[in-house]
Amino acid sequence: MPTGHIPTEGVRLIADERDRQINQEGWSEAHDDEHAAGTMVWAAIAYAASAIGLEVRRLTRRAMSEVYADLWPWQPDMDKRDKHNAIRKLAIAGALIAAEIDRRHRRGEK
């Protein structure tokens, strides 16, 4: 980040969420490395798509689960999208993307 640059609210929310994932959920580098390539990206897409659905269509919980169920990469009990507002979902999506970027860097990907 350039010197003197003030992070935007979005960057702050994503960083705060990633910190929460690591320090409260225990999602360490080792934990993230256990995920197959792409699963954190699919979860991020599911969160972001869910945020769009809430803003644009105001889908019911049932309709949203039918529309986005195929995107969710993990067990259904890990899906907490319906308990968050759109901004929170986007912050979670951003943090998942950051975790995937870090995972790929550790593997030496460019």
List, in order, residues 6 or more apart from 71 with CB less than 8 Å away. Answer: 42, 45, 46, 49
**pLDDT in the model for residue 54:** 47
Sequence ranges of the domains in the chain: 37-110
Is 0.85 topped by the overall pTM?
no
Angle between the 86-106 and 39-56 helix axes, to the nearest 10 degrees?
160
Give the pLDDT confidence of 43-99 residue by residue, as tens digits. Answer: 898 889 888 774 444 556 666 666 655 677 888 888 888 899 999 999 999 999 999
Give the pLDDT confidence of 11-37 residue by residue, as tens digits. Answer: 999 999 999 999 999 999 999 999 887
Comparison of pLDDT for 92 and 4, the residue scoring more: 92
The conformational region for residue 59 under phi > 0 = left, psi -120 to 50 = alpha, else beta, is beta
**pLDDT in the model for residue 31:** 92
**pLDDT in the model for residue 65:** 60
